[in-house]
Chains A and B, each alone.
Chain A
């Protein structure tokens, strides 16, 4: 590379990092700075002055525990329901004609392209009738729509990569289908199963559209952030945003290997 090309590269890298890191810097700056120096000022300081923990401790506390527990419970349920649906599906698909199993996966991804808000409103009125409106399980059932295709796709790839002889051997030795699945396939697929669980958990943790339409009265953290903004309580919105973001960043860094486009297709909608 010529020197000017090298210089251009460095400039580009700085610009790229500035765009992708700056909003996170804003999150940390505003979360730990007295708001009189940031968003209460007409011209905020862009560097830390008078660091404080007061924002997080005082603003988040009153509205944190209910939504945080709700978010934790729903995300855990989404992980479990996703596995309960995706494990048998992926196992079944790994045993049939690859062309048909490919078509089923494509079908799942196409349904995932459906705008959440279009289906969330009819689902809400059905849930009211069924008593699932505002419930943890109802919201988890809806959010699993986003995670199921990705989960089935990852697990199908995993099951296809396990030599079928291992399972046959177990069956010949007298294991039942369920036992062979449980004793032979599950341990080999454990890393993928863990990844699917954590990715599903993350999608649910961040999800907003289904949450605001299906559980507005007992909100999750993202919905509580929206409610705070709507009431003009920006400090609470900021503090809750900080709480919501820390686990999400940790999971993204941990799960980087699995964050591949073909897995995520519809999973990152706004």
Chain B
């Protein structure tokens, strides 16, 4: 009876595991292996070397700068928003609902909306600049990367910050109120209480949110594709461009493998930092 039950429950789990093996593990291994295979079917590094003149270095820099910039920006906003909502005495859930609505908006749509906002010449951001008396800015000028990166970070964070707000808010609700009360009696101001009580108590929640957002951030694809095309390239858009244009699909596997390696390194770092604390 017992043996029978064990085998039955295992049988129930197998379809999902087989599905994941067939559609994740096999394709990923296939991409990595084929990134090292040349047209003659032998081992080669040529697919990787071919990426260098196509802007590999810039793609890596862009991916890293925008990813880390975006998660840092999102962390700051999410901390601020979650603290404000946690302090409210009424209308908490209304404000939360309004703030998380962007989560449901498709990335493609947010890219279209921000392409209107960051339009040049003209556009909404520039109209606002003009109304307060500032000169217009070419927000997505591929020759001026810091401004492009900043615009992409702002556009990306609109849709992706809400999940971080949800995580940090859940963490803040778990901090005992007595800690704040006794700190206030001891004369600690709001900023000090935030730095000494809120942030240390949120550490594991911050870690989780950085892991979740960080890995997804390396994958941003639709947003740069629509806002800036292939210039500057991201590892994702470079992979897609190679896939749709290159003679050999194996070059796109090489670019994909680099993306995969970066994501794996990030997971390992966060895991080490998180694990060290426990």
Residues on A lying within 8 angstroms of B by beta carbon are 5, 9, 12-13, 16-17, 19-21, 23-24, 26-27, 30, 38-39, 41-44, 46, 85-86, 88-89, 91-93, 95-96, 104, 107-108, 111, 113-123, 125-126, 141-142, 144-145, 148, 152, 177, 202, 205-209, 212-213, 222, 225-226, 229, 234, 237-238, 241, 244-245, 248-249, 251-253, 256, 259-261, 264-266, 268-270
24 A-B residue pairings within 8 Å (CB atoms): A9-B87, A16-B99, A19-B158, A23-B105, A26-B113, A42-B121, A43-B122, A43-B127, A46-B128, A92-B11, A92-B13, A114-B260, A122-B34, A125-B249, A222-B109, A237-B112, A238-B116, A248-B104, A252-B101, A253-B101, A266-B215, A270-B217, A270-B219, A270-B220
Q: How far is the CA of A33 from the CA of B127 in the complex (A)?
A: 17
Cβ contacts under 8 Å, B26 to chain A: 122
Q: Which of A39, A43, A241 contacts B109 (CB 8 A)?
A: A241
**Separation in Å of the A154 CB from the closest CB of chain B?**
14
Cβ contacts under 8 Å, B40 to chain A: none
Q: Which of B95, B102, B109 contacts A13 (CB 8 A)?
A: B95
What 8 A-B pairs come out closest when comparing CB atoms? A92-B12, A252-B104, A42-B122, A122-B27, A206-B106, A270-B220, A119-B27, A248-B104
**Sample of 18 more A-B contacts, CB < 8 Å, known A152-B16, A268-B160:** A20-B162, A23-B102, A44-B127, A89-B16, A93-B9, A95-B9, A121-B27, A121-B239, A122-B26, A122-B31, A148-B19, A225-B108, A248-B105, A248-B106, A253-B97, A270-B219, A270-B221, A270-B222
Cβ contacts under 8 Å, B223 to chain A: 270
Cβ contacts under 8 Å, A13 to chain B: 84, 95
Decide if B80 touches A12 in the complex (CB within 8 Å).
Answer: yes
**Separation in Å of the B43 CB from the closest CB of chain A?**
19
Q: Which of B98, B111, B163, B219 contacts A17 (CB 8 A)?
A: B98
Q: Which of B24, B117, B166 contacts A114 (CB 8 A)?
A: B24
**Which secondary structure characterizes the binding site on chain A?**
helix
Residue among B95, B109, B190, B252 with most chain A CB within 10 A: B109
**Which secondary structure characterizes the binding site on chain B?**
helix
Decide if A115 touches B263 in the complex (CB within 8 Å).
Answer: yes
Q: Which of A12, A111, A222 contacts B24 (CB 8 A)?
A: A111
Cβ contacts under 8 Å, A248 to chain B: 104-106
**Separation in Å of the B96 CB from the closest CB of chain A?**
8
Render B2-33 as a binary contact track against A, CB cut-off 8 A, 1 for contact: 00011011111101110110011111101100
Decide if B101 touches A23 in the complex (CB within 8 Å).
Answer: no
Decide if A142 touches B16 in the complex (CB within 8 Å).
Answer: no
**Separation in Å of the A85 CB from the closest CB of chain B?**
5
The residue on B at minimum CB distance from A110 is B267
- B149 adjacent to chain A (CB < 8 Å): no
Q: Which of A20, A144, A222 contacts B106 (CB 8 A)?
A: A222
Decide if B256 touches A115 in the complex (CB within 8 Å).
Answer: yes
- B216 adjacent to chain A (CB < 8 Å): yes
Cβ contacts under 8 Å, B114 to chain A: 23
- B126 adjacent to chain A (CB < 8 Å): yes
The residue on B at minimum CB distance from A228 is B112
Query: Given A43-B130, A92-B10, A115-B263, is A249 in contact with B101 using a C-beta cutoff of 8 Å?
Result: yes
Cβ contacts under 8 Å, A126 to chain B: 27
Decide if B25 touches A115 in the complex (CB within 8 Å).
Answer: no
Decide if A251 touches B260 in the complex (CB within 8 Å).
Answer: no
**Separation in Å of the B112 CB from the closest CB of chain A?**
5
Decide if B263 touches A209 in the complex (CB within 8 Å).
Answer: no
Q: Which of B84, B124, B159, B257 contacts A12 (CB 8 A)?
A: B84
- B36 adjacent to chain A (CB < 8 Å): no
- B58 adjacent to chain A (CB < 8 Å): no
Cβ contacts under 8 Å, B130 to chain A: 43
Q: Which of B27, B101, B219 contacts A269 (CB 8 A)?
A: B219
**Separation in Å of the B137 CB from the closest CB of chain A?**
14
Cβ contacts under 8 Å, A266 to chain B: 212, 215-216
- B47 adjacent to chain A (CB < 8 Å): no
Decide if B31 touches A252 in the complex (CB within 8 Å).
Answer: no
Decide if A241 touches B113 in the complex (CB within 8 Å).
Answer: yes
Residue among B88, B116, B159 with most chain A CB within 10 A: B116
Decide if A229 touches B112 in the complex (CB within 8 Å).
Answer: yes
Decide if B117 touches A115 in the complex (CB within 8 Å).
Answer: no
Q: How far is the CA of A93 from the CA of B15 in the complex (A)?
A: 13
Interface of chain B residues 53 through 85 with chain A (CB within 8 A): 77, 80-81, 84
Q: How far is the CA of A270 from the CA of B126 in the complex (A)?
A: 26
Query: Given A12-B80, A92-B13, is A20 in contact with B107 using a C-beta cutoff of 8 Å?
Result: no
Decide if B222 touches A226 in the complex (CB within 8 Å).
Answer: yes
Cβ contacts under 8 Å, B19 to chain A: 85, 144, 148
Decide if A145 touches B20 in the complex (CB within 8 Å).
Answer: yes
- B170 adjacent to chain A (CB < 8 Å): yes
Q: Which of A44, A85, A107 contacts B15 (CB 8 A)?
A: A85
- B240 adjacent to chain A (CB < 8 Å): yes
